[in-house]
Amino acid sequence: MQQVADAGDIACNPFNIDEAIKQIEVGATDLLNKVGGIISLGGDHTIAVPLLRAANKKNNGPVSLVHFDAHLDTWDTYFGAPYTHGTPFRRAREENLFLDDASMHVGIRGPLYSRDDIKNDESFGFKIIHCDEFQTEGTDKIAERIKKRVGDNALYLSIDIDVLDPAFAPGTGTPEIAGMTTREMVNVLRGLSGLNLISADVVEVAPAYDHAEVTSLAAATIVYELINLFAKS
């Protein structure tokens, strides 16, 4: 029988990102030593780095990473800073935290930061499902493509709420039009049933920018669907 509990907040230093990252890693690792998996709520997408470190310890090695986002998040630096919401998966690649033959981005559509973004991203091993492909392929086929890519590997899901169209998730820092609908998101997640999900995050919800809590509702429902995936793993 599956049990779900709120583990509370991980206290971290809001003025020192290096210390905060370490505190998140320690907190997540401690939790994963006690439970089968965790779903983390953010917050800045930078938290994916320490969470992936913890998942690697749980798995005794790299995991398959499926990243839902409007943006690649594999930049080297952002305004000169190495740890930001636009760089987590470049840092993760440098630490070999994910499998380069079993990882992918889903929902990409945002502007590029440099001319080399796509080339660099391919060199890290990522495959991309662009958001426009939902129009022609549908959620069933998209889910099958993800499952084929992941295979039997331990899976970490990282979901930036801005993968959704701003009509469904206005409360985020970097909204991009022409995004996924909440129906598409829910049905793709349901299509991943049976994968070996070991941990996940849902990030970049900004309540101060939200209208009528529609972004928070979308995020909460995504978390509910992730819990269902854990139950079926």
Q: Which pTM value belongs to this model?
A: 0.97
Dihedral sign from CA coordinates of 219, 221, 227, 231? negative
- The mean pLDDT value for 123-134 works out to 97
Which tokens in the block code for residue 48? 């994916």
pLDDT in the model for residue 167? 98
Is 2 a member of any domain? Answer: no
pLDDT in the model for residue 218? 98
Is 6 a member of any domain? Answer: no
Is 178 a member of any domain? Answer: yes
Amino acid of residue 9: D
Q: What is the pLDDT of residues 100-113, one digit of tens each?
A: 999 999 999 978 87
Is 134 a member of any domain? Answer: yes
pLDDT interval class at 233 (50, 70, 90): confident
Is 227 a member of any domain? Answer: yes
pLDDT in the model for residue 139? 98
pLDDT in the model for residue 1? 64
pLDDT in the model for residue 113? 78
* Closest-CA residue to 162 (of 92, 107, 224): 107
User: Which residue matches tokens 């809590």?
Assistant: 213
Domain count, the chain: 1
Is 4 a member of any domain? Answer: no
Is 23 a member of any domain? Answer: no
pLDDT higher than 90, residue 115? no
| End-to-end alpha carbon distance in the chain | 13
Q: How far is 137 from 104, CA to CA, in rounded Å? A: 17
pLDDT in the model for residue 25? 98
Is 28 a member of any domain? Answer: no
Q: What are the C-alpha distances in Å from 196 to residues 38, 40, 140, 213, 230? A: 13, 17, 19, 31, 8
Which domain does 81 fall in, by range? 36-232
CATH number at residue 122: 3.40.800.10
